[in-house]
Amino acid sequence: MQSKLKRELGDCLSFVELGCGVKSPAVEFTKNIFAVGIDAHLPSLLANKKSGYFKDYVLADLTHLPLKNNCFDCVAAFDVIEHLTKRQAKILIESMEKISKKKIIILTPNGFNSKCHLEDDSHLQIHRCGWTMDELSKRGYVVFGIDGARRLRGEQALATIKPQIVGSLLSRLSDPFVFRCPSTAFALLCIKNKPKNQN
């Protein structure tokens, strides 16, 4: 996924991550561009700010974003839409598409993945919906599979085959296959490039 993110962000001068949490998977590619992190959970936002991953930070409810249309080249949400209801997630995706000048990047589990363990007791971490490759493809996203085969990972993407080290290795070995066959993957990396005439 890292090499794909690097390519996708290569032509972007501004980037906003919605639900940035404590650390972003894109931080190493946003050091030289104007990057903003937005989150609704203050402790996560403060931890991210302490590490200095973004140039600016905003505490905001993702269902009511304080952003104008076409204000960032790239708008991303990594492991976010599954934490909203389906209706809220659809509204967020529509907002992302309006805010973006060039592209939208979404990372989400493939289908519904229940989450019982909350790392910091935040109710925002509960999974409330699931998305499939077909649903996101119909919205105009090019979808890639990541994090190995779906059958090899469970809650929190932990390997289902024991011992963990063997399960994780098998999952990693399946990465090249699921990248091109996302319906079999544990997670979906979804990218939508906006036509230039839509800006």
**% of the chain surpassing 90 pLDDT:** 80
Alpha-carbon torsion, ordered 193, 10, 109, 170, to 10 deg: 130
The answer, as to whether pTM is greater than 0.95, is: no
Q: Are 182 and 144 in contact (CB under 8 A)?
A: yes
Check residue 81 and give its pLDDT: 97
Identify the bridge partners of residue 142 per DSSP, sorted by sequence position: 191
Check residue 121 and give its pLDDT: 64
Check residue 76 and give its pLDDT: 98
- In whole angstroms, give the CA distance from residue 136 to residue 142: 8
**What is the tens place of the pLDDT at every residue in 151-170?**
998 877 788 899 989 989 99
Give the contacts of 92 (CB within 8 A, at least 6 positions apart): 18, 62, 63, 65, 77, 80, 81, 84
**What is the tens place of the pLDDT at every residue in 65-86?**
999 999 999 999 999 999 999 9
**What is the tens place of the pLDDT at every residue in 87-146?**
999 999 999 999 999 999 999 999 998 765 556 666 778 889 999 999 999 999 999 999
Nearest residue to 149 via CA among 140, 159, 141, 139: 159
In CATH, the architecture of 2-144+186-198 is 3-Layer(aba) Sandwich (3.40)
Does the bond joining 25 to the residue before it have cis omega, within 30 degrees of 0?
A: no
How is the chain split into domains, by residue range?
A: 2-144+186-198
Which three-class secondary structure state does DSSP give residue 163? coil
Give the contacts of 112 (CB within 8 A, at least 6 positions apart): 82, 127, 129, 130
Do the strands 56-59 and 72-78 form a parallel or antiparallel pair, or are they unpaired?
Answer: unpaired
